[in-house]
């Protein structure tokens, strides 16, 4: 399936090309006027977006359920998967975890709000039973995703400490990492969720979270295996978020996929919407991982390590 213009708009938040506003230099989430003040996507990110889109377009609309696997073909992510430079991997995890705070701190709220919107739609009278089941499931399941940003913050603290013990001449500051501005893709991820919650398709949340949970298994599990092989099991307690999700999301991904498929089976006309949400969120998450990887490579290139 080709990414439609609407999908590209959705993935970039419909605001590509706008200038950076002063408040975006901090990590604070912008207020309600955020939509008019998006940083312009830089050339490197635009090129990466093409790679992500190319990987995703290799999946057909019928295969949107398997689209998370397609992301493994993105060149930046292949580089990451094959990386055997332990310092570069360490830097990648520092960037991934510090930026990941912005990908997770609102997850509980997004899921709850999407569920509440499904229940409101049910009350308005369409597809009542299915929307009620989905809405209740999202509202009840939201708590399971609470506080995962804290895992990321703790991981940054531990990863910085172990980096500094290994490279005292090139120290990393956990505070500086945890206050550095969020990447464009982190803002896009936030906007994509808000956009769906505010749309007439809040039920697409189940496709969004199903795709991301599947991604934990498709990309996360091999990454944990690689860390074990290159850095040893002793490194894993610094990767609480990643390690826990590879374990937890086996169940979460199965439950979300079951709910999504049940909903689509009862409403086949909604399948294109679920496909669009899946490709949209994977495009953003693929760019997020690519931005983390490219930032880590730049940091590595700037360091002369002892």
153 binds Fe ion (CB under 5 A): no
Distance separating alpha carbons of residues 151 and 88, to the nearest angstrom: 21
Q: Which region among 82-90, 187-195, 206-214, 296-304 touches Fe ion (by CB under 5 A)?
A: 206-214
Contact (Cβ atoms closer than 8 angstroms) between residue 199 and residue 270:
no
Cβ atoms 183, 288 nearer than 8 A: yes
Among 76, 145, 155, 188, binds Fe ion (CB under 5 A): 145
Report the residue number, 213 or 283, with the smaller CB distance to Fe ion. 213
What CA–CA distance (Å, rounded) separates 149 from 144? Answer: 12
Binding mask 65-104 for Fe ion (x = CB under 5 A): ----------------------------------------
**Angstrom distance (rounded) from CA 289 to CA 294:** 9
Stretch that binds Fe ion, among 77-85, 139-147, 193-201, 283-291 (CB under 5 A): 139-147
> Taking CB under 5 A as the rule, does residue 252 contact Fe ion?
yes
3-state helix, strand, coil in the chain (%, to 5): 80, 0, 20
Nearest approach, Cβ of residue 141 and Fe ion (Å):
9
Q: How far is the CB of 300 from Fe ion (least distance, A)?
A: 28
In terms of CB distance, is 210 or 294 closer to Fe ion?
210
User: Is 148 an interacting residue with respect to Fe ion (CB under 5 A)?
Assistant: yes
Establish if 149 lies at the interface with Fe ion (CB under 5 A).
no
Residues 109 and 119: their CA atoms lie apart, in Å, by 15
């Amino acid at each position: 399936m080709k990414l439609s213009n609407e999908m590209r708009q959705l993935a970039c938040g419909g605001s590509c090309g706008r200038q950076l506003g002063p408040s975006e230099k901090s990590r604070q989430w912008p207020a309600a006027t955020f939509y008019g003040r998006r940083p312009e996507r830089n050339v490197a990110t635009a090129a990466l977006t093409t790679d992500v889109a190319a990987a995703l377009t290799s999946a057909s609309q019928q295969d949107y359920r398997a689209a998370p696997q397609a992301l493994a073909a993105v060149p930046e992510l292949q580089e990451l998967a094959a990386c055997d430079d332990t310092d570069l991997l360490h830097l990648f995890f520092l960037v991934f975890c510090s930026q990941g705070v912005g990908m997770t701190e609102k997850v509980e709220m997004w899921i709850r709000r999407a569920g509440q919107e499904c229940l409101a739609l049910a009350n308005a009278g369409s597809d009542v039973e299915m929307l009620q089941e989905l809405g209740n499931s999202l509202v009840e399941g939201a708590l399971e995703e609470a506080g995962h940003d804290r895992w990321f913050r703790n991981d940054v603290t531990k990863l910085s400490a172990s980096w500094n013990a290994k490279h005292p001449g090139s120290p990393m500051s956990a505070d500086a990492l945890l206050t550095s501005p969020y990447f464009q893709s982190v803002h896009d991820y936030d906007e994509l969720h808000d956009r769906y919650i505010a749309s007439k398709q809040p039920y697409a949340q189940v496709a969004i979270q199903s795709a991301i949970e599947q991604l934990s298994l498709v990309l996360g599990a091999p990454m944990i295996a690689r860390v074990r092989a290159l850095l040893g099991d002793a490194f894993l307690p610094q990767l609480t978020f990643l390690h826990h999700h590879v374990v937890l999301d086996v169940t979460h991904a199965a439950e979300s996929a079951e709910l999504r498929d049940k909903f689509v089976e009862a409403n086949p006309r909604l399948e294109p919407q679920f496909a669009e949400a899946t490709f949209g969120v994977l495009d953003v998450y693929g760019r997020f991982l690519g931005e983390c990887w490219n930032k880590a490579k730049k940091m590595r290139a700037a360091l002369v390590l002892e």
